[in-house]
Structure 1
Amino acid sequence: MDRSRGAAHTSEATRGGELTGAVVVVALVSAVSGLLYGYDTGIISGALLQIGEDFDIGNGWEQVIAASILAGAVVGALTCSRLSERRGRRGTLLVVAVVFVVGTLGAAFAPNPELLSLARVVLGFAVGGATQTAPTYVAELSPTAYRGRLVLCFQIAIGVGILVATIVGASEAVDWRVSIGAAAVPAAVMLVLMLRLPESPRWLLKADREDDARTSLERVRPGGADVDAELAEIGGLVHEESRSSTRGWRGWREGWVRPAVVVGCGLAVFTQLSGIEMIVYYSPTILTDNGFPDSTALRVSVALGATYLLAQLVGLAIIDRVGRRRLTLITLPGAALAMVVLGTFFVTGHSGKAQVPWIIATLVVFMAFTAGGIQLMGWLTGSEIYPLAVRSAGAAAQSAALWGTNLLITLTLLSVIDTIGTGQTFWLYAAFNIAAFVFLFKRMPELTGHSLEDIEGRLHEGRFRPRDFAPKG
């Protein structure tokens, strides 16, 4: 590969580009898709209490219903990776928006648990496709000066979606069919907005459609702006990628790429093994099964959703100053300790009414540590840790690893609790957090302050251990 990367240097035009209304709409579409991801995965937490009664089902079916969206997400992430390369980012997001509407309405009108699960698989396809495509679409249309903030709209919107879902669930006045079906409205909004947006200029250049790429870029830049420099920069990157022998999924065979794959996919797995999905999906079920009133359990969900969003906002505000690696390693011990304390409450029999405030406080502490730490890294690293020519395939594999682990946990969690007990399950997840700390301490370098070109260069030179990345800033 050409290591000079002359064309990769950010042009003055893109660095100082103005934020236009069209780019704001692009970011809004991404935010809506993130909102749908958070809402559709979070709403099942409270809805399961009603669904279990309506369909007269036990923990086994509840696990299947909760996990079915994740099975679809694995397929969606992998499928939409290829689809976005062949048909474009915009075309893929149009498909995702339609599937969001269809899956949401199918789930809302499902007459039995079988069809409800099937509809949530369809919905999951849209969730996985959105997480794979929306951030990339925003990144490829945004001016460099605003790119990070606009891409992170997706991450923040996930937290907003989870919080809204927990508030709706806690109201207990909204039927589960209505609460699930309500997501069709933002999905329809996303579809309408996408119809008015341009295709990614980077994808158009890859498809040898230079005139269309120019038109697309002019639509999202200030009127009269000279886009020649930015087009030349994008064209240089596309040309370099086309000449590279390390491309797409085949590029994973290269030994020098493997350390990035190990760190990226390992991090994705540990974001789920942290226990976050156990709390988001099943906290009401776990609490009610241990004697908590439904109303208390649902209010706890709201507190956890609010904590998730606030912790994400704080984490995003400090991550570039503290550092990705450092923030993750600081917060993981706190999450592990919170899980140990939670497990101790239940194992020792101190889970009655008198301990309710302490149990809730510990849950909130856990959520703060994990949402403000390792949960920020799952999607972030996929956009920066892989070499340019395999970035799309790497991000897809990392998404699939994340969703696959999530699926396994969601399918088995209630059965694990039935087998070994609630407290012991919390201890198990404490052990996972400790394992995550050890793995990331040994393998995850500090990427903060390093350009994408610098990261790729060190990877290519075989210098991808933490000691090879000196702190910057």
Structure 2
Amino acid sequence: MEKLKSYFVDKKQQVVVFSSTAIALYGYDQGMMSLINTNQDYLKTMGIAEEDPQVGVIVSVYYLGCAVGAVIFSYLADKYGRKPALFGCLATASLGNLIMFVSGLGYSQGALTVMYLGRIVMGLGVGGVDSVVPVYSSELASDDSRGKALAQEFQSNIFGLNMAFAINLALTVSLGKTNEWAWRIPIIAMQIYPVGLLAIFERLPESPRWFIFHERHDDAAASLKYIMGEEEGKKKLDELQENAKQESGKSIGYSDMFNPKHPMFHPTLITIMGQVNQALTGYGAVSVYGPQIFELLGYDVQLSEFLTQGNFISYFILMTFAWLLVDAVGRRTVLLGGSGALVTCFLLLTLFGGLAQKSGELGIPRQAVAIPGIVSLFLATGAFGIGWLATIWLIPTEIFPTTARAQGTAVSVIIWGLANFAVTLLTPILFNNLAYWLFLVFAITNTFAGVWTYFYQPETGGRTFEENQEFFDEARKEGSWRVGRVREGEFRKLPYPKPDGEEGETQPLLARVRDQM
């Protein structure tokens, strides 16, 4: 009861709830289009066939909108504040969703063009959400709970995905695949997220860090008092002012971030490779084309859709371990554990997929290999959620100084958008040509992602933003980006205080997990 009460009085908790709901909007879109793409009335209204490449282009063009929206709204977040940028993101996403809903409503000519426009506009807004929310959330979270806050937000992302797929599935079953409202209702139902968030928007605090770095010290003091109370707020204000002095005069642009000679190039490349490696896990294909994977294992269309829903529910539940572990064992550990589990699961899926396809020739009961295949896919989904979903969005918020944090997160969204654009276009082609061998490709790409993470990804948890900057300073002095060579491998591990508050041995794992609950 006390925890429930804290959500209504604790401003940090309110920020987590707001941010979680905003991220759920992004998840909702992921689940929204999967069954709409097979609705016959939708295809007829758009004037395209189910096998038309434009079905995939309509889905993927959204990700290009996300990439552009990340740049626009990260700029607005730096210039005008995190809150005004968030307002713009939500309003834009709401407008794009409304445009999608009215495409072909009472008319047919030009419906496809309107749908494309809606997808792009909604992408602009959601891309802004994806770039600004992690920055806003991390700047208001404590140094030892940033991971938990963002992982909880991304668990809401999976709630949004579940909600969209469930609405789609219920309407498809009850109304059929030829009914207009079976695809229009799931689209307009998304309005609950941006409209609801805009309704409570004014109660949220602005980021004190943003105020400090725009020399609005009185506003920063008022914001900190609102969030933390007078005494703690004053202490935090002094700390932020001192940090601002150290970073003053260091205006950073995108050209600096992509300049190999600039100090920001190193964290920028880590951000880029994080999103590239997340794409290489292959889970983008699993989330978008889950029903086709179950069909590959030998199930009919409707049962495959129900199994996909079951997989998403399992995904949501297992995400609980993400926020329990990310601050308890560290970013590197959950990433590496996720890669190892994904490699194992995809190797098993290659085996079970091949046996399912040849079960008749080999005299093996199909269920004998299909059921282990289902278990492997469920476990792969959970491993991705625990290890790779939230963590890759968290790291950019921890490795850039305040003057480049919004741009760094925008770069992360841009790479995510481009990678997902490629995945949603290429996956159907790869499925058609490789069938179950696609899982072997994903096992190999996950191995690469894990190896790169082991050698080059520093541990950013349990440290202040300023302490994480020390890694990059030391790497330049050392002349190496290998984590094991920087300060004798200090950044391979998560720092923990002893019970008496001194730096030293780590706490027992169960104690650390308990502290996160």
TM-score scaled by length of structure 1: 0.87
| CA distance in structure 2 between the partners assigned to 1:445 and 1:221 by the alignment | 30
Query: Equivalent residue of 1:322, what SS?
Result: coil
Pairing 1:14-163 to 2, within 5 Å after superposition: 20-50=9-39, 54=44, 55=46, 56-111=49-104, 112-142=111-141, 149-163=148-162
| SS of 2:390 mapped into structure 1 | helix
User: Is the CA contact (8 Å cut-off) linking 1:169 and 1:298 kept in structure 2?
Assistant: no
* Aligned partner (choices 172, 177, 180) of residue 184 of structure 2: 177
Matched to 1:325, the amino acid is R
C-alpha distance in structure 2 between counterparts of 1:438 and 1:152, whole Å: 23
* Counterpart for residue 511 of structure 2: none
Distance in 2 between the 1:278 and 1:148 partners? 26
1:378 lines up with 2:367 in the alignment: no
1:139 shift after superposition: 3.2
1:69-117 Cα distance to aligned partner (Å, 9 max, x none): 2111111112111110112111111111111211112222222444323
Alpha-carbon distance change, 102 to 322 in structure 1, aligned in 2, over 3 angstroms: same
Identify the range of structure 1 (306-315 vs 289-298) with the bigger mean alpha-carbon deviation: 289-298
The letter of the residue matching 2:289 is: Y
Residue 214 and residue 444 in structure 1: after superposition, are their counterparts in 2 closer, same or farther (change >3 A)?
A: closer
Residue 247 of structure 1: aligned partner? 252
Q: 1:296 — aligned with what?
A: 303
Quote the offset at 1:258 in angstroms: 3.1
TM-align CA RMSD:
2.8
Match for residue 440 of structure 1?
453
Separation of aligned partners in 2, 1:297 and 1:114? 31
CA distance in 1, matches of 2:114, 2:400: 39
Q: What residue in structure 1 maps to residue 425 of structure 2? A: 411
The AA in structure 1 aligned to 2:300 is P
**What is the CA-CA distance between 1:381 and the residue it aligns to?**
0.9
Q: Which amino acid aligns with 1:28?
A: V
Query: Counterpart in 2 of 1:323?
Result: 330
5+ long unaligned stretches in structure 1: 1-16
The change in CA–CA distance for 1:29 and 1:450 in structure 2 (over 3 A counts) is closer
1:397 aligns with 2:405: no
- Superposed displacement of residue 53, structure 1: 5.0
The residue matched to 1:153 in structure 2 has which SS? Answer: helix
Check conservation: 2:147, 2:391, Cα contact below 8 A.
no
Task: Give distance in 1, aligned partners of 2:7 and 2:196.
Answer: 26
2:234 corresponds in structure 1 to 228
**Secondary structure, aligned partner of 1:384:** helix
Q: Structure 1 counterpart of 2:33, which letter?
A: I
Distance 1:396 1:176 in 2: 31
Q: Is the 8 A contact 1:324 1:446 kept in 2?
A: yes
Give the residue type in structure 1 aligned to 2:254: W
Classify 1:211/1:167 alpha carbon distance in 2 versus 1 (closer, same or farther; 3 Å).
same
Report the counterpart of residue 500 of structure 2 in structure 1: none
Instruction: Provide the C-alpha distance between the structure 2 equivalents of 1:265 and 1:68, rounded to a whole number of angstroms.
Output: 20
Which residue does the alignment assign to 2:470? 457
Tell whether the 8 Å contact from 1:257 to 1:460 is kept in structure 2 after alignment: no
Partner of 1:9: none
Change in Cα spacing, 1:58 to 1:465, as seen in structure 2 (3 Å) is same
Instruction: Report what 1:257 is aligned to.
Output: 264
1:193 to partner: Cα distance: 1.3
- The answer on whether the counterparts of 1:19 and 1:143 sit within 8 Å (CA) in structure 2 is no
Distance of 1:439 and 1:95 partners within structure 2: 36
Q: Given residue 262 of structure 1, which amino acid in structure 2 is its aligned partner?
A: L
Aligned counterpart, 2:381 = 367
Change in CA separation of 1:201 and 1:331 when aligned onto 2, cut-off 3 Å: closer
Shift of 1:34: 0.8
Matches of 2:299 and 2:43 in 1, distance apart? 17
- 2-side partners of 1:331 and 1:315: how far apart? 10
Contact 2:37 2:50 (C-alpha < 8 Å) held by counterparts = no
Cα distance between partner residues in 2 of 1:226 and 1:255: 36
Paired with 2:10 and 2:474, the residues of 1 have a C-alpha distance of 42
The residue identity in structure 1 corresponding to 2:446 is N
Residues 415, 136 of structure 1: CA spacing in aligned structure 2 closer, same or farther, 3 A cutoff? Answer: same
After TM superposition, the score normalised by the length of structure 2 is 0.80
CA-CA distance at 1:401 after TM superposition: 1.1
Paired position in structure 1 for 2:197: 190
In the other structure, the counterpart of 1:14 is: none
Whether 1:269 aligns to 2:269 is no
Residue 339 of structure 1, CA deviation: 1.9
The correspondence for 1:208, drawn from 212, 215, 232, is: 215
Distance 1:145-1:379 versus aligned 2 partners, 3 A rule: closer
Does the C-alpha gap of structure 1 residues 198 and 450 become closer, same or farther in structure 2, counting only changes over 3 Å? Answer: closer
Q: Please say if residues 260 and 459 of structure 1, whose CA atoms lie closer than 8 Å, have aligned partners that are also in contact.
A: yes
Which ranges in structure 2 are unaligned for 5 or more consecutive residues? Answer: 1-5, 105-110, 176-181, 361-365, 496-505, 507-517
| Conservation of the 8 A alpha-carbon contact between 2:346 and 2:380 | yes
Q: For 1:430, give the aligned amino acid.
A: A
Question: Which residue, 450, 466, 472 being the options, matches 2:483?
Answer: 466
Q: Distance in 2 between matches of 1:215 and 1:445?
A: 35
SS of residue in 1 equivalent to 2:418: helix
Task: State the distance in 1 between where 2:329 and 2:144 align.
Answer: 21
Q: 1:451 to 1:146 in 2, by over 3 A?
A: closer
State, as a whole percentage, how many aligned pairs show the same letter: 23
> 1:335, CA displacement in angstroms?
0.9
- Alpha-carbon distance in 1 for matches of 2:184, 2:30: 15
- Shift of the alpha carbon at 1:228? 3.0
Q: Which residue identity is paired with 1:456?
A: Q
Amino acid at match of 2:350: G
Tell me which of the two structures has the higher relative contact order, counting C-alpha pairs closer than 8 angstroms and 6 or more residues apart: 1
Give the equivalent residue in structure 1 for 2:444: 431
- The Cα of 1:141 is off from its aligned counterpart by 3.9
The whole-number CA distance in structure 2 between the counterparts of 1:287 and 1:392 is 39
